[in-house]
Structure 1
Amino acid sequence: MAYREIISRAVLTWGAVAVGARLPVAAAPLALVFLVRERPGGYTLGAVLAAVYVIGEIVGAPLLGMRMRPERARPQLAAGLAAGAAGFGALGVAHEAPPVLLGVFAFVAGAGPAAAPGGMRALLTSLVPERAVAQAMSLESVLTFGIWAVAPALTAALALAAPHAPLLLIAALMAASVAGLWVLPAGWATGEDPAGGDRGTLRVVLGVWPVYVTGAASMSLLALAELILPALLEQRGIAVGWSGVVLAGFSIGSAVGAFVYGLRSWPGRLPTQSLVLLLGVSACVAVVAVLPGLVWIGTGLAVAGVMQAGAMLTRNLTLRELLPPSALAAGYSVMYAAVGAGYAASGTLAGGLLRVAAPSTAILAGVCLTLLLAVVGAVGERRVSAAARVPKEPGAATAARL
């Protein structure tokens, strides 16, 4: 199905609301660093505030996502985004507050809207025909990577004028996304009896744990490469300033990869596609660690971005295959938390490895760990997928025993 066939007023409206909800998430870590960098020990405090923000996301996504109900998604999404806007606004207005209070605001800003990406994705897929879900998710990924490419430059430019300006802007954007929800559908239909309750949803969502392992693995690998990139450039005798250009190439590659994935159907089952793409990302990052020269590093990360986009899409589509519609928002939220946890763990691992190993060695160690997690996830996904494909027609259970 062509992209032009899924472009509608509802999808375009969803895109506008998504920009208001997601640009603050992309800008927040850097905005927090700029907010306090002129204080004594400002960069350290900024890193701590950014970490608290991410912890808020990791905690809030599964807790709030599990409670999201398709039939009343709008008020739940609005409440979460409003809490995030309040947290960002408090950081911008009370930017001279004590660090502990800033930490509380940062946690609220991270936790409040953490379930919104999952809920918004479930809402988007309800706006298009079933056969066009892959294209809709590809378009969502292109939008997301575009936001992540623009957010750092916008944040830095505003912060040079006033350190708290980025936080005031993103608070306003998130507040605007709350209002925008009322021009979208109130929720999405599932055609299911929601009698299972929170415990039933939790059991179903956690039952597809291998998908989350694979998601955390790929993000951990790329986070390790990104965080070690400046040190790697120094090791190669390349100016550290090139790191921004290289990472922009990665974002562009990711947007291209997401667009290309949605152009057609690809051979193989989704878990197989995910594994192949993850192995490809691992190979690209290994090339970055081993081969010298800025061209090799930039090309390796750009190609890794193309494959990473496809890997991310296959994981989300796999969740859609394995989970019932009523649990999709919760599943996407748990994936969001798993990816955030993988990124946070990679930051810690990067700091530890650089104390005892060269940057290139640290990246290769991360590749080995990713491959191990990929194998665990692939074996688990095969079992989960096999269980999900058991026939459910009358008499199927009897037939299976014969």
Structure 2
Amino acid sequence: MAYRELLTRPVLTWSAVALAARLPVAMAPLALVFLVRERPGGYTLGAVLAAAYVIGEIVAAPVLGIRLNAERARPHLAIGLVVGAVGFAGLGLAADAHPVVLGLLAFLAGAGPAASPGALRALLTSLVPEKAVTQALSIESVQTFVIWALAPALVSGLALGVDPAVPLLLQGGLMAASVAGLWALPPGWRAENQEQGGEPMRRVLLRAWPVYVMGAGSLTLLALAELILPALLEQREIGIGWAGPLLAGFSIGSAVGAFVYGLRSGWPGRLPVQSLVLILGVAAGVALMAVLPSAGTIAVALTLAGILQAPAMLTRNLALRQILPPSALAAGYSVMYAAVGAGYAASGSLAGGLLAVVAPSTAILFGVGLTLLLTAIGAVGERRIESAGQPAAQPTAPARKVRR
């Protein structure tokens, strides 16, 4: 299945809606920092607001995802995105409000649309043939990393060149536009086995816990790369201005890796093995970043890590399709979203605490150790599930025929 065969009207429409819904999410943490940075203790307040936003995402994603009706997803998505738009617009309009008010608005902006990433992913895979799912998820990943590469520059330019409230107002407008775009897409997706054979949804989702753990382990590496890199550059006596280009290289590498992974419908090895190898490769790249002496060598290590990072996450999403029934996929993607957010937050907290007592390079190596621990737990869990002979909901028989 060539990428050009995905250039259909429904997929292009989905891409526009996803861009409008996800760009505000990528802009949010930095936009919150810029919003309050000129207040006394502004950077600390900005970090607290960003934390409130992320907590809103982590808490709400699994709760809302479980309640999502696959075949009538549009109203659920619309309400969540409207709540997010109101939260962002409120932050922009009430920039001078009390910190508690800003914190509540930030939590609301994160919680409202928290189920939309998983639901949009499930909707995308329903718009393409089964044999094109890998390519569709690859294109989604490419779009995501491009968005995350562009968002910091967009926020910085608007906040410094116009007004700190403008990025938040733009985020609210984009999210509201995504609500209108939902009516150009199907109202939901067909979900066979809606009742999961009578098994409660929570038990069905718990079945995939090793996938969530390995996904969280993968995102801890991204947190290390983003949060400790400036301190590492200072330790190496490299200009801190290199942080932006180096992280851009990581994002560009990830977009390239996602595209390359989608060039084939199947790669050698089972998905759990692919995930394990890819995550170990990313861990090796981040560990090299901690010990290499120059900006050029760090750039090479980060770019190579980025190339492997996107396929690592893609294999986790494909693994969910094997374990969960169609009716639980959107909820499973939402739980994954919460898990990787929790992994990012945990790694960031660990890194922040370690930087107070050890050198940045040592803090990175500790973080890599945390990733390896989570990866080992997830790999053992997946192995036990396979040994127990648990049946997978995907791929279906027709899908296997296509892959042969």
| TM-score interval, normalised by the smaller of the two chains | over 0.9
Equivalent AA in structure 2 for residue 8 of structure 1:
T
What is the CA-CA distance between 1:291 and the residue it aligns to?
1.6
Q: Which residue is equivalent to 1:126? A: 126
Q: Secondary structure at the match of 1:215?
A: helix
Identity of aligned residues (%): 71
Q: Which residue is equivalent to 2:400? A: none
Deviation by residue 1:3-24 (Cα, 9 ceiling, x = unmatched): 0112200000000000010000
1:17-28 equivalences under 5 Å are 17-28=17-28
Mapped contact 2:227–2:348 kept (Cα < 8 A): yes
What is the CA-CA distance between 1:373 and the residue it aligns to?
1.4
1:391/1:139 CA distance change after superposition, 3 Å = closer
Q: Which residue is equivalent to 1:354? A: 355
What is the CA-CA distance between 1:120 and the residue it aligns to?
0.1
Between 173-182 and 284-293, the greater mean CA deviation after superposition: 284-293
Equivalent AA in structure 2 for residue 78 of structure 1:
A
How many Å separate the matches in 1 of 2:184 and 2:76?
A: 15
How many Å separate the matches in 2 of 1:364 and 1:96?
A: 40
In structure 1, stretches of 5+ residues that fail to align are 393-402
Equivalent AA in structure 2 for residue 246 of structure 1:
L
Equivalent AA in structure 1 for residue 14 of structure 2:
W
Q: Secondary structure at the match of 2:238?
A: coil
How many Å separate the matches in 2 of 1:177 and 1:263?
A: 29
Deviation by residue 1:332-365 (Cα, 9 ceiling, x = unmatched): 0000000111111111101111111111111111
1:270/1:195 CA distance change after superposition, 3 Å = closer
Q: Secondary structure at the match of 2:228?
A: helix
Equivalent AA in structure 2 for residue 217 of structure 1:
G
How many Å separate the matches in 2 of 1:209 and 1:391?
A: 14
How many Å separate the matches in 2 of 1:211 and 1:170?
A: 31
TM-score when normalising by structure 1: 0.95
Between 220-229 and 103-112, the greater mean CA deviation after superposition: 220-229
1:179/1:346 CA distance change after superposition, 3 Å = same
Mapped contact 1:281–1:304 kept (Cα < 8 A): yes
Equivalent AA in structure 2 for residue 183 of structure 1:
A
Give the number of equivalent residue pairs: 391
Deviation by residue 1:234-264 (Cα, 9 ceiling, x = unmatched): 1111000100000000000000000000001
How many Å separate the matches in 1 of 2:62 and 2:271?
A: 24
Q: Which residue is equivalent to 2:368? A: 367
What is the CA-CA distance between 1:371 and the residue it aligns to?
1.1
How many Å separate the matches in 2 of 1:88 and 1:326?
A: 31
In structure 2, stretches of 5+ residues that fail to align are 394-404
Equivalent AA in structure 1 for residue 60 of structure 2:
G
Deviation by residue 1:149-195 (Cα, 9 ceiling, x = unmatched): 11110111111110100000010000000000001000000122437
Q: Which residue is equivalent to 1:97? A: 97
How many Å separate the matches in 1 of 2:18 and 2:240?
A: 33
What is the CA-CA distance between 1:390 and the residue it aligns to?
4.2
Q: Which residue is equivalent to 2:296? A: 295
Equivalent AA in structure 1 for residue 82 of structure 2:
A
1:319-398 equivalences under 5 Å are 319-387=320-388, 390=391
Equivalent AA in structure 2 for residue 102 of structure 1:
L
What is the CA-CA distance between 1:218 and the residue it aligns to?
1.1
Q: Which runs of 4+ in 1 moved over 3 A?
A: 385-392
Mapped contact 2:323–2:391 kept (Cα < 8 A): no
1:3-402 equivalences under 5 Å are 3-160=3-160, 161-194=162-195, 200-264=200-264, 265-387=266-388, 390=391
Mapped contact 2:322–2:392 kept (Cα < 8 A): no
Mapped contact 1:208–1:384 kept (Cα < 8 A): no
